Amino acid sequence: MIVPQMLQVEDPPPIRWPNGAKCAVMLTFDFDAETLWLARDPENAKRPGLLSMGLYGARVGVPKILELLADFELKATFFVPGWTAERHTARCEAMLKAGHEIGHHGYLHEWIDPDYPDREVEALDRGLEALQRVLGVRPAGYRSPAGETSP
């Protein structure tokens, strides 16, 4: 009978975080506002009750999140579609003023069909242009609105 030998593996050295922290945490938020509904069906623009769900996030949710982050002296990344930056500019400016990062999140929260890569490029360019024009930022990060990446 052959008995496998156990490998002797040393424990890795402990990770030392700055200021004695025990771990690192990354906080991100998707500030989609009404784009979730508008991207799914353009007719939703005629349904104010439906759009009010996205508007609630802009009017109530974002200020509460910013207040909470400030209370705990935390920084976060907000992924923002270009359309949202154009229509909720003051909220986005408040994020920047508080020292948070703005990330690229498409233009209208498009779910891109992989059979049409040109549409993905268009959405990327349009969203990036809006963020630069409205907020004066060129984001370093991108989060796909569909939660996926193209090949």
Residue 69 inside a domain? The answer is yes
Averaged pLDDT, 29-45? 84
Q: Where are the alpha helices (DSSP H) in 13-116?
A: 35-40, 48-56, 62-71, 82-87, 89-97
Residue 82 inside a domain? The answer is yes
Q: Which residue has the higher pLDDT, 96 or 148?
A: 96
Supply the CATH number for residue 60's domain.
3.20.20.370
Domain range for 55: 27-135
**Quick check: 148 pLDDT over 80?**
no
Residue 115 inside a domain? The answer is yes
Q: For Cα atoms 59, 126, 123, give the angle at the middle one, nearest 5 degrees.
A: 95
Residue 144 inside a domain? The answer is no
pLDDT at 75: 96
What CA–CA distance (Å, rounded) separates 7 from 115? Answer: 49
Give the Cβ contact number of residue 65 at 10 Å.
18
Residue 109 inside a domain? The answer is yes
pLDDT at 1: 58
CB 54 within 8 A of CB 34: yes
Averaged pLDDT, 108-125? 87
Residue 36 inside a domain? The answer is yes
Q: At 129, is the pLDDT very low, low, confident or very high (cuts 50, 70, 90)?
A: very high
pLDDT at 115: 87
Residue 1 inside a domain? The answer is no
Residue 9 inside a domain? The answer is no
Q: Poorest-confidence range of 27-31, 57-61, 145-149?
A: 145-149
pLDDT at 39: 81
> For the segment 39-85, what is each residue's pLDDT rounded down to a tens digit?
888 887 888 887 788 888 999 999 999 999 999 999 999 999 999 99
For the chain, the domain total comes to 1
Tokens for 93, please give them.
């400016």
Q: What is the dihedral of CA 98, 89, 66, 137, to 10 degrees?
A: -40
